[in-house]
Amino acid sequence: MSDATPIVFVVDDDVSVRESLELLIRCEGWQPEIFASAQEFLSRPRALVPSCLILDVSLPGFNGLDLQKRIASDRIDMPIIFITGHGDIPMSVQAMKAGAVEFLTKPFGDDVLLSAIRNAIERSQATLGREAEIRGAPGRLRVAHSCANGKSWRW
């Protein structure tokens, strides 16, 4: 997992924003995956590598806040950075309460976005690491239980 190139997903209906972000993300050494709609993004299986999602609030079909709700439980390892040209305080509060790590209003500087992406990828790495520990825990718990009961193991 630690050797995997982090993926930065971008969901934005504006082609110029998608192309600009794709170039910026690629120049930083991350792997960009670009989508024009929430539905298009949902068709992509979960990535088990460090990742984050840059998500426009205003999308055709269902909006970014709706997508956030839809993926909240099954993609907890993928922090969400919202971007919008028409944000307001109630919208940003809703996004943050639902778990977004950042809410940026367009236009924003590259350095602000890159810092947000770095922080999000670090969070993703930590979450994936905890998930890996949990998946490995049953075997360790079995060994600890057996040792406590006086059984020995052959290695």
How much is the pLDDT for 137?
Answer: 59
Using a CB cutoff of 8 Å and minimum separation of 24, what contacts does 84-91 make? 84/56, 84/57, 84/58, 85/58, 86/57, 86/58, 87/57, 91/57, 91/65
- Type of residue numbered 120: A
How much is the pLDDT for 96?
Answer: 93
How much is the pLDDT for 154?
Answer: 39
Write the DSSP assignment of 92-127 as a string of letters. Answer: HHHHHHTT-SEEEESS--HHHHHHHHHHHHHHHHHH
Helix, strand, coil in percent for the chain, rounding step 5: 50, 15, 35
For the chain, give me the number of helices (H) and strands (E)?
5, 5
Per-residue pLDDT of the chain (155 residues; tens, 9 = 90+): 457 899 999 999 999 999 999 999 999 999 999 999 999 999 999 888 999 999 999 998 889 999 999 998 888 899 999 999 888 898 999 999 999 999 999 899 999 999 999 999 999 999 998 888 887 755 554 444 444 445 443 33
Under DSSP, the state recorded for 65 is H
Cα–Cα nearest to 83, from 118, 61, 110: 110
How much is the pLDDT for 121?
Answer: 97
| Distant-in-sequence, close-in-space partners of 26: CB < 8 Å, separation ≥ 6 | 32
Cβ atoms of 42 and 11 closer than 8 Å: no
- Type of residue numbered 71: I
Whole-structure pTM value: 0.84
**Residues in the chain, total:** 155
